[in-house]
Amino acid sequence: MSWRATTDGRLLRVRKPLAGWRATGLALAATAAVMLAAGGWHYASRSDDAAPSYETRPVGVGVVERSISATGSVKALVTVDVGSQLSGLIFEMKADFNDPVKEGDLLAIIDRAPFEAKLASAAANLAMAKADIGLREAAMTRARARIAQDERDATRFELLSPKGVVSQKSREDAQTQLSLARAELAMAAAQLESAKAAVALREADVSQAQIDLDHTLIRSPINGVVVDRRIQPGQTVAAQYQTPILFQIAQDLSQILIFAQVDEADIGPVRPGAPVTFSVEAFPDETFEGTVEQVRLAAAKTAGVVTYTVIIKAQNPGQRLFPDMTATVKIIGDRRENVLSVPNDALRFRPPAGGRDIPDGAAIWVTAPSGALERRTVRLGLRGDTATEILDGEVKQGEAAVLRVKSAAERRRP
């Protein structure tokens, strides 16, 4: 028996032969089985999609680092600005960019003619001052001779005056002449000292003129490389108000310094001797190493941001790093080796449903062999850039720490 729908929507019972009924029943049973199987697969598929899946990472022993990032400029270990103390015309250049120089090497020459003339004038004035000393010494000799004569005359008048041979006036005149002679001797002595002082002054003028003449030869004060040249032959140097910079010489480019600016929030863990890695745009695929040499206490304030200068010393193999290159610096503020650690993402993970609100760092979640989540209480140490040190707790090495819940697309991905 079966049912048939009429045109007005009513159902009519229709009797069929037994064989037909059996065939129809088998067909319906087969169809139901197929639909049940399909529905079961669909349900299973939906159940699989609904079941959470997790990304995990084994708890292991390794290195935990906390670093500070900054930027800075590459500088030579010692950079000297070579200037001129004199004003004058650059007569000749002896050094150019990138030239290696040694201490005392000639770099440039300022026109020497004016300074040679000054030296000759000073030398002539010195000769005149020395000649004046001779005149003053002769005046001293004459004054002494006159004193000697006047002393003899005065003594003789003293002896003859009591006998009436000479008058009292002649005796007094002899005493007066002796006093005048002594005064002339004192004046001559003073003039001689003045002449000697004039000689010392003229000698100083000669020394200064010689120094100026020597300064027309611009020499290197250190061994190094000329990294900058700021003058041209024929250029006039004016040094009246400030010393003009003619050359910059970098000493020993096999070692360099990096002047890095570190924000005040990050300066705490930075200490002298801390390891540093850095890179420059000229060699983006290479990482260079150095150490913190000095943390300067003077702060720099720019637009309300406070930074401190950290001096980093590094080797420069092949002298490939040039002065004033920009370096991206990573300073290792703290480091722990061979410690139990877990990725930082594991500390931030919370179960998707039914999990309690647990403070960061108090616990992590691991997957049990059955697939269930289990909570592990831990005590944390150094929190690094990517991982955190575990001092102790319920977690063991090798357990699978949960980092996050996988998305539906990731779960369906083979």
Tell me the domain boundaries of the chain: 2-50, 54-64+339-412, 112-215, 248-335
Identify which has the larger pLDDT, 153 or 238: 238
391 alpha carbon, distance to own chain's centre: 36
Percent with pLDDT over 90 in the chain: 59
Which pLDDT does position 51 carry in this prediction?
Answer: 60
- pLDDT at residue 123 above 50? yes
Predicted local confidence at residue 129, as pLDDT: 92
Query: What type of residue sits at position 53?
Result: S
Instruction: Please tell me the predicted confidence (pLDDT) of residue 25.
Output: 45
Which of the two residues, 53 and 165, has the higher pLDDT score?
53
pLDDT: is 151 or 41 the higher one? Answer: 151
pLDDT value of residue 104: 95
Q: In this model, does residue 29 exceed pLDDT 80?
A: no
Rounded to an integer, the average pLDDT of 156-170 is 74
Domain 54-64+339-412, second-level architecture: Beta Barrel (2.40)
Residue 32 has pLDDT above 80, yes or no: no
- Shortest CA distance to 102 belongs to which of 245, 249, 233? 249
399 vs 376: CA distance, rounded Å = 10
pLDDT over 60 (residue 228): yes
Please report which confidence band the pLDDT of residue 353 belongs to, taking 50, 70 and 90 as the band edges.
low
Who wins on pLDDT, 22 or 154? 154
Q: What is the pLDDT of residue 164?
A: 67
Is the pLDDT at 132 greater than 80? The verdict is yes
Q: 193: how many CB neighbours lie within 10 A of its CB?
A: 12
How far apart are the C-alpha atoms of 105 and 221, rounded to whole Å? 8
pLDDT of residue 311: 97
Residue 204 has pLDDT above 60, yes or no: yes
Q: What are the φ and ψ backbone dihedral angles of 122, each rounded to 5 degrees?
A: -65, -40
Q: Give the max Cα distance, the chain.
A: 203
Q: What pLDDT band is residue 10 in, cutting at 50, 70 and 90?
A: very low
pLDDT band at residue 60 under the 50/70/90 scheme = very high
Say whether pLDDT at 374 is over 70.
yes
Segment 381-390, tens digit of pLDDT: 999 999 999 9
Question: How high is the pLDDT of residue 265?
Answer: 93
Domain 248-335 annotated CATH 3.10.180.10: no
Tell me which residue has tokens 């390794």: 62
- Asked if the model's pLDDT at residue 344 lies above 80, the reply is yes
Please say if the pLDDT value at position 180 is more than 60: yes
* 54-64+339-412 shares its CATH topology with 248-335: no
Task: Give me the pLDDT at residue 149, please.
Answer: 87
Give the mean model confidence (pLDDT) for residues 244-266: 93
Q: Across the chain, what does the average pLDDT equal?
A: 84
At 411, the pLDDT band (50, 70, 90 cuts) reads: low
* Alpha carbon distance 215, 116 (integer Å): 12
The model's confidence at residue 17, banded by pLDDT at 50, 70 and 90, is very low
Q: Which of 44-53, 107-116, 164-173, 182-191 has the highest mean pLDDT?
A: 107-116
For residue 105, the model assigns a pLDDT of 96
In the prediction, which pLDDT does 167 show? 75
* Nearest partner of 183 among 133, 130, 134, 139, judged by Cα: 139
Q: Give me the pLDDT at residue 371, please.
A: 79
How large a percentage of the chain has pLDDT more than 70? 83
Q: Which residues of 173-189 are buried (b: 16+ CB within 10 A; e: fewer)?
A: ebeebbeebbebbeebe
Which amino acid is residue 409, in one-letter code? A
